[in-house]
Chains A and B, each alone.
Chain A
């Protein structure tokens, strides 16, 4: 079965892998493997890529040595009720494709309860950051007779889910691990046909009830899903899920052929959990958002909207993009067009996308790679946050070659299939959805307006005063936890230490009475920017008892240059004094992405100090005395905590 259809085909991937094997430097081999992982591949080629990446790299896959540069290391324990060993290479390769260096530990098959409940020493030594519970519908069937009542079924389902929640709790308490729960793919044939769902204890009915109970519990407990049941319903796996031959032969739920697809679907959840999902959908215009060429056909000549099947298909794709914007994906336009003509097209009465939905609009006759770079700069996001959708295969090819960081999906011939293709690629996998997400796209648009206002204002002070900014600070509590964790895991640029934490870890830190955990929101005259900054400060065994280490300080780049840092420092000083601290210690850990904050602490009046014991060699440390330091100047009104 064809899979990973959104990835481009390589002329001869087998030969390319063979050539890459000649490379002797392990880091180069890994980089080549990660690059080749971006091509469409079957299980055999995927396994060869895994060998290419891991051979000669020593023990990075077991997490014993430092992970390669440019990749986020993540230790994942796979606890399953069926055989999963054959899926591991594909999970690792899909990880590489998303800049994840995955160490995967597989517990003995069928032992998922035991290893969590008896404190298995091997699992403890591995210290997983993510625990995946890969369960299936055939595992531990509920002890129900076929004529059991609805109430009996409900009780049995509840008991089963309670057991799962106990395992989730164990994983969290023992390892502070993020739990990913696989839903139960219904793979057995029906007993009753269409009547099945009307029989409370029919196997299919029970599996469905279990899945909805699992989903509801996961939502409450901050557990992520690998929703295989949903994928099965979509038919993504064809007959490759629950093939009885593979089950009888080796207790494999997922056929080896479909390992690349499974690996990709799990890896995207893992990548999302450490903030490696994409953020922005960049759209071409002619023959992507409408049929025809606006410059030639004019606003009355393009095909869009009701009346023709083609027009309907383009409209459906626009509607899909508009829905993505509603869930917080930023929209941008990159098109070879005359700017005025392209913008005027948005006045077409049938357009589902409005000009105001587009946060960055690049329409000109320059090359698209340069325009995509400009879009990333305008929006203050990395090129690796962009997904570029263009119907023209030549443009796709050029952008892939010039900007390998940008995701460029292969598209089907028919625009009617575009939404499904973009969705199948899983670029925008997320670990939360909050009210802030729903307004984020709007925020980026407002930001463009703020920038325009800034260029009009003659002096900076006047501009900042005119924004009428209000910063509200609250301790990180249950309400702020999901969004704060999301920000911690995806902020790369304005991030002093780039430490990634799960919700459980943030909660643990925030509940320490001697620590300060702040969630900061900013409003201005243009609207609410939402949660824009998180600061975590805690006592540290290697510092004096009255010093607080600023473990994490990060900020959304969309409020850069507005003296928010100065205002946040003021809040931090007040909060630190309240927990009895006399001095703050700032830490800067350089990464390839965060050079913009290299001077953050000295700029705020911190003085350089020596590194405490156990610090990372390239980290620098900064001292700030609460008593003797002067507060920095800013034009922001502060509310709370």
Chain B
């Protein structure tokens, strides 16, 4: 999966979780930019991403997931390691 493909798949996960088909993600998107991205939604986002990509984030990695770019990099790294 290329980073662009990951970003596209990630956008769909965001749209499902936040129930908003208008969401457009860039690498710079943060919680500030998405309506409803609070701490509770963040955990739901993480488990949804884990299910979508078949990966599991480590506890320490969770603390670095603050913008979409970090999500993409980490997903990419985990997919490549497989």
Question: Does B bind A?
Answer: yes
User: Which residue on chain A has the smallest CB distance to residue B21?
Assistant: A18
Query: How far, in whole Å, are A14 and B15 apart by their CA atoms in the complex?
Result: 11
Give every chain B residue within 8 A of A45 (Cβ-Cβ): 16
- C-alpha spacing A43/B41, complex, angstroms: 12
B43's nearest neighbour on chain A, judged by CB, is A250
With beta carbons under 8 angstroms apart, the residue of A18, A42, A249 that contacts B62 is: A249
Q: Assess the A257–B59 pair: CB atoms within 8 A.
A: no
Count of chain A residues with a beta carbon within 8 Å of a chain B beta carbon: 21
Are B44 and A86 closer than 8 Å at their CB atoms? yes
Contacts of B21 in A (CB 8 A): 18
Task: Verify A44–B62 contact, CB threshold 8 A.
Answer: no
Q: How far is the CA of A14 from the CA of B20 in the complex (A)?
A: 12
- Alpha-carbon distance A244/B58, docked complex (angstroms): 11
Which B residue's beta carbon lies closest to that of A83? B40
Among candidates B16, B43, B46, B57, residue contacting A44 with C-beta atoms closer than 8 Å: B16
Chain B, Cβ-Cβ closest to A51? B19
Q: Is A85 an interface residue (CB 8 A)?
A: yes
Whether B64 is near chain A, meaning CB under 8 Å from some CB there, is: no
Residue of A nearest to B17 (CB): A44
Residues of B within 8 A of A249 (CB): 43, 46, 59, 62
15 pairs, A vs B, C-beta closer than 8 Å: A42-B51, A44-B17, A48-B16, A51-B19, A86-B43, A86-B44, A245-B59, A245-B62, A246-B47, A249-B43, A249-B59, A250-B39, A256-B47, A257-B47, A257-B51
Interface size on B, residues (CB 8 A): 16
Contacts of A207 in B (CB 8 A): none
Chain B contact residues, majority secondary structure:
helix
Chain B: residues with CB nearer than 8 A to chain A?
Answer: 16-17, 19, 21, 39-40, 43-44, 46-48, 51, 57-59, 62
Interface residues of A (CB under 8 A from B): 14, 18, 42-45, 47-48, 51, 85-86, 244-246, 248-250, 252, 255-257
Which A residues are CB-close (under 8 A) to B19? Answer: 47-48, 51
Cα distance A51–B39 when bound, in Å? 19
Name B62's closest neighbour in chain A (CB-CB): A249
Cα–Cα distance between A18 and B22 once the two chains are bound (Å): 13
Contact residues in A for B51 (Cβ distance below 8 Å): 42, 257
Other 17 A-B pairs with CB < 8 A, given A249-B46, A250-B39: A14-B16, A18-B21, A43-B44, A44-B16, A44-B44, A47-B17, A47-B19, A48-B16, A85-B40, A86-B43, A86-B44, A245-B57, A245-B58, A245-B62, A246-B47, A255-B47, A256-B43
